[in-house]
A and B are shown apart, each in its own frame.
Chain A
Amino acid sequence: MPRRWTQISSLLFLISALAACGRLLNRGVQAHTEKPFPRQLSAWRLFNLRAGKLVPNRGVVPYDLNTPLFSDYAGKYRFVWMPPGASAQYRDDGPFDFPVGTVLAKTFAFPVDGSAVQKLIETRLLVHAASGWTPLLYIWDNKQRDATLQLVPDPVAVKWTDSSGRRHEFTYVIPNVNECHECHDNQKVFLPIGPKARNLNKDYAYAEGSENQLAHWARVGYLWGLPVPAARPRAAKWDDPATGSLAERAAAYLDNNCAHCHQPGGQAGYTGVDFRLTQTEIAREGLCKSPNSAGDVGSLRYDLVPGRPEESILIYRLESTAPKTSMPALSRDVVHVEGVALLKEWIASLPGGCKND
């Protein structure tokens, strides 16, 4: 009996030791789909930081967007991971239908003067938990070793000089967990914003070579239901005239910078203004429309006055950083000069005028 007991216990020990080794050796992504979520970003094993670059773990796919949300000129590094065997259902419009367990990671970084390396500020995870999409904010430490989970991150002082010699010096405000909902909620349901077909439909320079992102996702098993290439929508790149007309690029910019709130069911749905790319009526983009919310509009009268960017509230609010005036209302601390220039050019190109001008 004692001997047999010893045998069993050593066998059990061996098994558990092997399992531990297996876990140690198999350093795949460690997903969490319910609370408590890890305090450290490293516990997810999504990527490693090597020489200032985020190197994705096995199964973690980098991606970018045709026209992204402007975030104070921050560099943004996006990754997606899905549980083995799971894949997202393709959608023509709106974000894909991602499986439970999906992790979307977006890391925000700013250049460091005199260095090729960017300083990582924060990594936002959207985790498709069993209870729905959950935002997690991980804030990088100064030594850039790891990032720590926070509910209400402190603002960060940012200073850098861009390649044209322009100095950027401002306080970068990181949204808190409640504020995540302001942009991501539609009819009280939290959804990702960026990963839509039209925004992902572009080539990406993967480590193993360049490939269309939608095709890549389908090939690695992350996407099903992808239609033939000709049937896939594609948004213009806001700053690349080769990818679309002035109007198309302006529409793509408004889609990704404004439409998360300005669409039916969004935080600013009540304004009646709808900036989705799939919504093509210019009247619904505020043409000759007086606003019906109480934000500051200066002495201006209409959201959008054709031919007159300087009389359009749309431009006035994009050019401000004051709390009652600035749009988007969250997560924009500096003016996107080039984005505003695009919209000004577009409005200036529009024919006609408003009544009582």
Chain B
Amino acid sequence: MTNPQPSARVPRSSPLLREVGSCCLLIAALLLLSSCTKPVDFQKSLQEKLINAKSGDVIDLPEGKFHLDRTLSLTVNGVTIRGKGMDKTILSFAGQKTGAQGMLIKANDFVIEDVAIEDTAGDALTIQDASNITVRRVRVEWTRGPNTANGPYGIYPVSCKNLLVEDSVAKGAADAGIYVGQSENVVLRRNRVEQNVDGFEIENTENVDAYENVSTHNTGGMGVFNLPNLPRQGGRHVRVYNNQLVDNNTPNFAPKSLGPIYYLPTGTGMYIMAIRDVEVFNNKIQNNNTVNIYIINYHTGVDETSLRDTAASPITQQVFAPDDKRYDPFVRDVYLHDNDISGGGQSPDSRVDGVKMLAAALGGKLPDILYDGVVDRGWGKGPNPGQVCLSNNGAAGFLNFDAGGEMKHPVHDLKRYACSLPALTAIAIPQAGGK
């Protein structure tokens, strides 16, 4: 018997197929809906969560790539921001319209983990005036690779106390991938920084352990230094060990307006400037084309004549500001031992006048370790008044180029520097498993 009612006709398909079909439809609709979610909604709801957060809150970010066009900010203490992984939860600021930073954190007891911040107009992750900060498995990146217009700093804590940056990645910063400035009690470990101008910068900071990091394919691998006229002076006590600072030969792409970093010679493995109490050991520092390790006082490192030509520099003003009476421009008490150092200085950066001059005087190549030999007269006339101690660094070549004596009395002989200094104590901060 045929059914007389046409309206009752149904497609000939099994109930199972129908269910599968409607289920697919539902999934498709959901997918469509989720792909249509306006970027501003994610941004807005996340910013609201950050404003409304209470101490102890964990703000979970889902998997996905989210487009934001405005700086996210947090001022509430005790908040954790947690994504699903540095390649799974991506906050993209490409085409940023408002504010220059990606995130601006002014809060204590802050944790951020398992998230990526990409393509911010300015610095990616700024943390200011804060204590007990953990940055874990965070990736900051300018995805177009090295470019003068990239933001200056990737992970950018300033004036922080008890800071841990671990298992993170920074790529493409036009100044430093991972920077720490005017801070104290800092652990930087197991990070990877690539294709930045400077891989790491440790500036005017006291009590630092930097270990098991990889810094490669930057312009320079790592800088440890003090600069004048910053509110906090007296950075010292820095341990750098078990790191790899290799193949940092990416041509310098810092804009001139960023000042001294524009003059960082391409191919600098590590520079130690105007600081004391630095211990560098068990590192692999290799194949950095200008020099593997550069130990210098401030006036050798920052070429004021060159700086006079910089369009506008963050530091120029500081350089030419009235003398900072608190500032100590000398480098001393540096202990380099048991490092695997080789292959440096094979193709020095002729763009930088000082390097060009030195390389020309030495037949086109530079040794692995360069020391300017500049010491404070008050330290006496011993063979090594600056207490720069170099021991057991493989077959690393060395030169004290006597910058203070117009290079008239260079010293090649490592024996004069074959001394040791007491080991520096490890840095203990609560979130790094210390006390």
Partners in one complex: yes
Given the interface pairs A152-B44, A152-B48, A324-B122, the reply to whether A297 lies near B98 with Cβ below 8 Å is: no
Contact with A along B71-99 (1 / 0, CB 8 A): 00111000000000000000000001111
Alpha-carbon gap, A51 to B315, bound state (A): 56
Give min CB distance, B6 to chain A, whole Å. Answer: 47
Alpha-carbon gap, A177 to B313, bound state (A): 32
Give min CB distance, B264 to chain A, whole Å. Answer: 15
For residue B73, which residue of chain A has the nearest CB?
A178
For residue B321, which residue of chain A has the nearest CB?
A272
For residue A313, which residue of chain B has the nearest CB?
B312
Contact with B along A313-357 (1 / 0, CB 8 A): 100000000111000011000000000000000000000000010
In the assembled complex, B47 has its CB within 8 A of some CB on chain A: yes
Question: Contacts of B384 on A, CB cut-off 8 Å?
Answer: none
In the assembled complex, A293 has its CB within 8 A of some CB on chain B: yes
Given the interface pairs A323-B98, A324-B121, the reply to whether A151 lies near B51 with Cβ below 8 Å is: yes
Alpha-carbon gap, A181 to B74, bound state (A): 11
**B257 adjacent to A173 (CB under 8 Å):** no
**A297 adjacent to B312 (CB under 8 Å):** yes
Give min CB distance, A144 to chain B, whole Å. Answer: 23
> Which of A178, A291, A294 is within 8 Å of B317, CB to CB?
A291
Q: In residues 109-129 of chain B, which contact A (Cβ within 8 Å)?
A: 121-123
In the assembled complex, A290 has its CB within 8 A of some CB on chain B: yes
Question: Contacts of B297 on A, CB cut-off 8 Å?
Answer: none
Question: Contacts of A171 on B, CB cut-off 8 Å?
Answer: 97
**B311 adjacent to A294 (CB under 8 Å):** no
**B312 adjacent to A302 (CB under 8 Å):** yes
Given the interface pairs A290-B312, A292-B314, A292-B315, the reply to whether A178 lies near B121 with Cβ below 8 Å is: no
Give min CB distance, B303 to chain A, whole Å. Answer: 16
Q: In residues 32-83 of chain B, which contact A (Cβ within 8 Å)?
A: 40, 43-44, 47-48, 50-52, 70, 73-75
**A151 adjacent to B257 (CB under 8 Å):** no
**B51 adjacent to A323 (CB under 8 Å):** no
Alpha-carbon gap, A293 to B313, bound state (A): 8
Question: Contacts of A297 on B, CB cut-off 8 Å?
Answer: 257, 311-312
**B316 adjacent to A292 (CB under 8 Å):** yes
Question: Contacts of B74 on A, CB cut-off 8 Å?
Answer: 178
**A177 adjacent to B100 (CB under 8 Å):** no
In the assembled complex, A295 has its CB within 8 A of some CB on chain B: yes
In the assembled complex, B308 has its CB within 8 A of some CB on chain A: yes
In the assembled complex, B411 has its CB within 8 A of some CB on chain A: no
Alpha-carbon gap, A176 to B310, bound state (A): 36
> Which of A270, A272, A323, A356 is within 8 Å of B308, CB to CB?
A356
Give min CB distance, B79 to chain A, whole Å. Answer: 13
Give min CB distance, A232 to chain B, whole Å. Answer: 37
Contact with B along A174-195 (1 / 0, CB 8 A): 0011110100000000000000
Contact with B along A284-322 (1 / 0, CB 8 A): 000001111111111111100000000001000000001
Question: Contacts of B175 on A, CB cut-off 8 Å?
Answer: 294
In the assembled complex, A169 has its CB within 8 A of some CB on chain B: no
For residue A272, which residue of chain B has the nearest CB?
B317
Alpha-carbon gap, A313 to B52, bound state (A): 38
Question: Contacts of A292 on B, CB cut-off 8 Å?
Answer: 313-318
**A154 adjacent to B44 (CB under 8 Å):** yes
Question: Contacts of A322 on B, CB cut-off 8 Å?
Answer: 121
Given the interface pairs A152-B51, A323-B96, the reply to whether A294 lies near B73 with Cβ below 8 Å is: no
Question: Contacts of B311 on A, CB cut-off 8 Å?
Answer: 297-301
Alpha-carbon gap, A297 to B258, bound state (A): 10
> Which of A154, A272, A291, A324 is within 8 Å of B100, CB to CB?
A324
**A330 adjacent to B317 (CB under 8 Å):** no
**A151 adjacent to B48 (CB under 8 Å):** yes
In the assembled complex, B343 has its CB within 8 A of some CB on chain A: no
Alpha-carbon gap, A291 to B48, bound state (A): 34
Alpha-carbon gap, A326 to B272, bound state (A): 36
Alpha-carbon gap, A125 to B187, bound state (A): 43
Contact with B along A23-63 (1 / 0, CB 8 A): 00000000000000000000000000000000000000000
Give 15 A-B contacts (CB < 8 Å), ordered by A residue: A152-B44, A173-B70, A179-B73, A270-B231, A272-B317, A294-B123, A294-B175, A295-B100, A296-B257, A301-B311, A323-B100, A324-B151, A329-B99, A330-B99, A356-B308
A interface residues with partner B (beta carbon < 8 Å): 151-152, 154-155, 171, 173, 176-179, 181, 270, 272, 289-302, 313, 322-324, 329-330, 356
Given contacts A178-B74, A294-B257, 10 further A-B contacts (CB under 8 A): A152-B44, A173-B98, A177-B51, A178-B75, A291-B314, A294-B314, A297-B257, A301-B311, A323-B98, A323-B99
